[in-house]
């Protein structure tokens, strides 16, 4: 980076000029296309941030290619499991996300180029590599992040790693879930030009045209072969059904061999239902047309021993069907592209002074999210799209504690309100009937990979408890689990939530919960303290081949817990740390 900074010779300047001349889209082209799509003159940056219209062909293809890549088992879980903003570098007063939004809306030029879209070469980008003059490129768009430095939750040093260069790969490795287009929409300098000549672009088009002629001659003979090969590579699961006069139950056999499978159901009508089974590399699609009308939503039951999920639909007319009906089978490749749906709030219940339980439902849609996965929640705050990640929780651990207004097609979230947070104050104020946007299930955690351990220890710090509730529900239903040991850490009584519900379930012999406060009041009769090797040695013990440990909480809590667990001899393969 330093050598690039010093290289300011006339040869470099000449190369910059040549690269700009070679660029297929010049400044006038960019501005002309902005006018054609009727972008407001005060915000020409929106086009570059949200559309590929003005991006070069190779960048568009790169984006599309990245979206089509299959998920791999080694992919880390992305995002915070609980939407906790306290994991990042401490920001100075007046530098919160809300302060950044206000600055962007103040009319101050954050682009540094007067808001006029530029075409930026790699060598020109490299010249803007200082903290006081910082440009960064992500997916073909160049941003001026000079003013954003002190607002970056990861700190100045972390952001400087990508300054003066194309930081797309670095960005994707660190936090690809971040909605950077919205956060940096007022900082766009223009489009990155890698210096591709017009001649090479023309030859590429010509080659494509010739290939398309060849493809046209052979497509009929190859398409059926491709379909047959694709279907033969599908996971070996089969739909089956059973019925009573009142209901029909649909389920899949053979799913035990695919522990990371999850389901999405979509209602097209009272007769037609689409099942999507999401695997590591494939999505199997069953479009079913039943014999007669059924009611929506179905109830579903997960067998945590066999991994089978039964979906039971109530028949509108009570009789025995002669057959299930008709269905078509298709498949598509799994991609990391997120899908979003609007969810309506059915209930918003305070669990303590700061934590709320929200029950949400999307219309004609049901998703069974695997245990330990998270979702992205988005809302428009002061004209900016803000998002956080949260872990869905079970509607209850005990039947007496069912979440208010819960239906089988609902998703439940426990969200802590941070008074100075950018999103949580707005979410926790939502009333029944209001809506927000949520993504599909995200992450790569596979709880079945820990099924060999009959003893499960959990360390939950604050809202880190949310990541544990699904694991607890599943473990309670498994005969092979001998002990579920939860250590529930909180600051004080005001921050404790779901205590009554946990204590009720602790009547089960194999579930034990210990509540621990770091700043307890005078009336507190339970355990006091913070994470320490002495405390964990007493409550968890030294390494045992029969046990595993899950941890989730604020960053400081996680670091202390990991250190203490390692002191006690526990191995890395016995541990899993959720990002809080």
pLDDT digits (tens, 9 = 90+) for 226-247: 444 455 566 778 889 999 999 9
Confidence of residue 63 (pLDDT cuts 50, 70, 90): very low
Q: What integer pLDDT is reported at residue 378 of this predicted model?
A: 95
* Burial of 580 (C-beta count, 10 Å sphere; 0-12/13-18/19+): buried
| DSSP 3-state of 79 | coil
* Class of the domain covering 346-359+374-442: mainly beta
Q: What integer pLDDT is reported at residue 346 of this predicted model?
A: 98
Average pLDDT along the chain: 81
Sheet holding 118-121, edge to edge: 118-121, 188-193, 141-144, 133-138, 129-130
Confidence of residue 272 (pLDDT cuts 50, 70, 90): very high
Q: Beta strands of 353-510 (E only): which ranges?
A: 355-361, 365-368, 375-381, 384-390, 410-416, 435-439, 455-461, 483-490
- Mean pLDDT score, 574-580: 86
Per the listing, tokens 């039943």 go with 290
CATH number corresponding to 97-193:
3.10.120.10
d(Cα 516, Cα 287) in Å, to the nearest integer?
50
Q: What integer pLDDT is reported at residue 270 of this predicted model?
A: 97
Per the listing, tokens 């250190």 go with 563
Helix or strand (DSSP H, E) at 534: helix 533-539
Could you tell me the two tokens for 168?
């797309």
User: Do residues 197 and 22 lie in contact, with contact meaning Cβ atoms separated by under 8 Å?
Assistant: yes
Q: What integer pLDDT is reported at residue 230 of this predicted model?
A: 52
Q: Which residues contact 158 (CB under 8 A, 6 or more apart)?
A: 89, 152, 174
Q: What integer pLDDT is reported at residue 94 of this predicted model?
A: 87
Q: What integer pLDDT is reported at residue 580 of this predicted model?
A: 57
Q: For Cα atoms 462, 463, 468, give the angle at the middle one, nearest 5 degrees.
A: 105
In the chain, which residues fall in CATH 3.10.120.10?
Answer: 97-193
Confidence of residue 84 (pLDDT cuts 50, 70, 90): low
Q: What integer pLDDT is reported at residue 107 of this predicted model?
A: 83
- Mean pLDDT score, 340-346: 97
Q: Is the preceding omega at residue 297 within 30 degrees of 0, hence cis?
A: yes
pLDDT over 90, % of the chain: 56
Query: Taking Cα atoms as reference points, which of 345, 295, 302 lies closest to residue 316?
Result: 295
d(Cα 125, Cα 135) in Å, to the nearest integer?
6
- Model confidence at 274: pLDDT above 50: yes
Helix/strand/coil percent split, the chain, to 5: 30, 30, 40
Which of 3-17, 176-190, 441-455 has the least mean pLDDT?
3-17
Q: What integer pLDDT is reported at residue 417 of this predicted model?
A: 95
d(Cα 335, Cα 67) in Å, to the nearest integer?
6
d(Cα 501, Cα 91) in Å, to the nearest integer?
36
- Model confidence at 97: pLDDT above 80: yes
Name the architecture of domain 239-333: Sandwich (2.60)
- Model confidence at 21: pLDDT above 60: no
d(Cα 105, Cα 383) in Å, to the nearest integer?
9
- Model confidence at 345: pLDDT above 60: yes
Q: pTM here?
A: 0.67
How far out from the chain centre does Cα 125 lie? 31
CATH number corresponding to 448-578:
3.40.50.80
d(Cα 294, Cα 309) in Å, to the nearest integer?
19
- Mean pLDDT score, 527-552: 96
pLDDT over 70, % of the chain: 77
- Model confidence at 374: pLDDT above 80: yes
User: Do residues 53 and 37 lie in contact, with contact meaning Cβ atoms separated by under 8 Å?
Assistant: yes
Buried b / exposed e over 264-280, threshold 16 CB at 10 Å, is bbbbeeeeebbbbbbbb
Confidence of residue 83 (pLDDT cuts 50, 70, 90): low
Query: Taking Cα atoms as reference points, which of 294, 261, 299, 256 lies closest to residue 278?
Result: 261
- Model confidence at 205: pLDDT above 60: no
User: Do residues 208 and 72 lie in contact, with contact meaning Cβ atoms separated by under 8 Å?
Assistant: no
Q: What integer pLDDT is reported at residue 1 of this predicted model?
A: 45
In the chain, which residues fall in CATH 3.40.50.80?
Answer: 448-578
Q: What integer pLDDT is reported at residue 214 of this predicted model?
A: 33
Helix residue ranges, H only, 51-155: 57-68, 97-104, 122-127
d(Cα 497, Cα 507) in Å, to the nearest integer?
18
Q: What integer pLDDT is reported at residue 37 of this predicted model?
A: 38
Sheet holding 299-302, edge to edge: 238-243, 247-253, 309-314, 299-302
- Model confidence at 301: pLDDT above 80: yes
Instruction: Determine how many CB atoms are found less than 10 A away from the CB of residue 8.
Output: 11
Higher pLDDT, 298 or 94: 298
Which residues are registered as beta bridge partners of 364? Answer: none
Q: What integer pLDDT is reported at residue 171 of this predicted model?
A: 81
Helix or strand (DSSP H, E) at 134: strand 133-138
d(Cα 215, Cα 551) in Å, to the nearest integer?
53
- Model confidence at 55: pLDDT above 80: no
Q: What integer pLDDT is reported at residue 175 of this predicted model?
A: 66
Which of 62-76, 108-122, 379-393, 408-422 has the least mean pLDDT?
62-76
User: Do residues 246 and 235 lie in contact, with contact meaning Cβ atoms separated by under 8 Å?
Assistant: no
Could you tell me the two tokens for 355?
């934590």
- Model confidence at 154: pLDDT above 90: no
């Amino acid at each position: 980076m330093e050598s690039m900074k010093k290289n300011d010779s006339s040869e470099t300047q000449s190369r910059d000029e040549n690269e700009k001349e070679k660029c297929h889209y010049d400044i006038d082209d960019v501005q002309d296309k902005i006018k054609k799509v009727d972008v407001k003159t005060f915000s020409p940056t929106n086009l570059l941030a949200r559309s590929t219209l003005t991006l070069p062909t190779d960048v568009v293809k790169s984006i599309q290619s990245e979206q089509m890549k299959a998920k791999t088992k080694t992919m880390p879980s992305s995002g915070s499991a609980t939407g906790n903003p306290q994991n990042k570098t401490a920001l100075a007063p007046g530098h919160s996300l809300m302060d950044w939004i206000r600055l962007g809306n103040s009319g101050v030029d954050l682009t540094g180029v007067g808001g006029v879209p530029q075409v930026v070469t790699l060598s020109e980008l490299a010249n803007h590599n200082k903290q006081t003059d910082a440009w960064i490129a992500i997916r073909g768009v160049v941003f001026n992040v000079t003013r954003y430095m002190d607002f970056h939750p990861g700190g100045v040093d972390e952001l400087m790693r990508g300054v003066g260069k194309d930081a797309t790969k670095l960005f994707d490795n660190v936090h690809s879930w971040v909605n950077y287009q919205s956060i940096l929409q007022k900082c766009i300098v223009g489009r990155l030009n890698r210096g591709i000549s017009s001649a090479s672009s023309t030859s590429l088009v010509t080659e494509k045209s010739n290939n398309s002629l060849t493809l046209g001659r052979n497509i009929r003979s190859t398409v059926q072969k491709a379909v047959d090969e694709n279907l033969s590579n599908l996971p070996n699961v089969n739909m089956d059904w059973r019925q009573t006069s009142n209901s029909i139950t649909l389920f899949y056999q053979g799913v035990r061999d695919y522990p990371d499978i999850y389901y999405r159901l979509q209602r097209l009508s009272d007769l037609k239902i689409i099942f999507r089974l999401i695997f590591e590399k494939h999505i199997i699609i069953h479009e079913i047309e039943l014999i007669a009308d059924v009611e929506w939503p179905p109830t579903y039951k997960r067998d945590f021993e066999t991994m089978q999920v039964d979906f039971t639909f109530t028949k509108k007319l009570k009789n025995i069907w002669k057959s299930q009906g008709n269905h078509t089978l298709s498949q598509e490749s799994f991609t990391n592209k997120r899908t979003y749906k609007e969810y309506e709030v059915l209930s918003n219940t305070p669990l303590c002074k700061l934590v709320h339980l929200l029950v949400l439902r999307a219309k004609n849609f049901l998703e069974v999210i695997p245990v330990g996965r998270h979702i992205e929640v988005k809302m428009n705050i002061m004209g900016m799209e803000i998002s956080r990640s949260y872990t869905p929780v079970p509607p209850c651990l005990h039947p007496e504690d069912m979440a208010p207004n819960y239906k089988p097609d609902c998703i439940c979230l426990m969200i802590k309100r941070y008074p100075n947070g950018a999103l949580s104050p707005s979410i926790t104020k939502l009333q029944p009937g209001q809506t927000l946007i949520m993504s599909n299930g995200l992450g790569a955690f596979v709880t079945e990979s820990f099924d060999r351990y009959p003893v499960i220890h959990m360390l939950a710090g604050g809202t880190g408890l949310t990541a544990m509730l699904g694991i607890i529900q599943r473990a309670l239903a498994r005969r092979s689990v001998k002990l579920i040991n939860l250590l529930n850490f909180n600051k004080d009584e005001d921050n404790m939530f779901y205590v009554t519900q946990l204590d009720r379930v602790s009547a089960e012999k194999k579930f034990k919960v210990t509540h621990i406060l770091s700043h307890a009041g005078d009336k507190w009769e339970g355990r006091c303290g913070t994470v320490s090797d002495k405390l964990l040695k007493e409550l968890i013990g030294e390494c045992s081949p029969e046990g595993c440990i899950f941890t989730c909480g604020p960053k400081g809590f996680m670091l202390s817990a990991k250190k203490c667990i390692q002191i006690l001899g526990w191995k890395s393969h016995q541990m899993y740390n959720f990002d809080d």
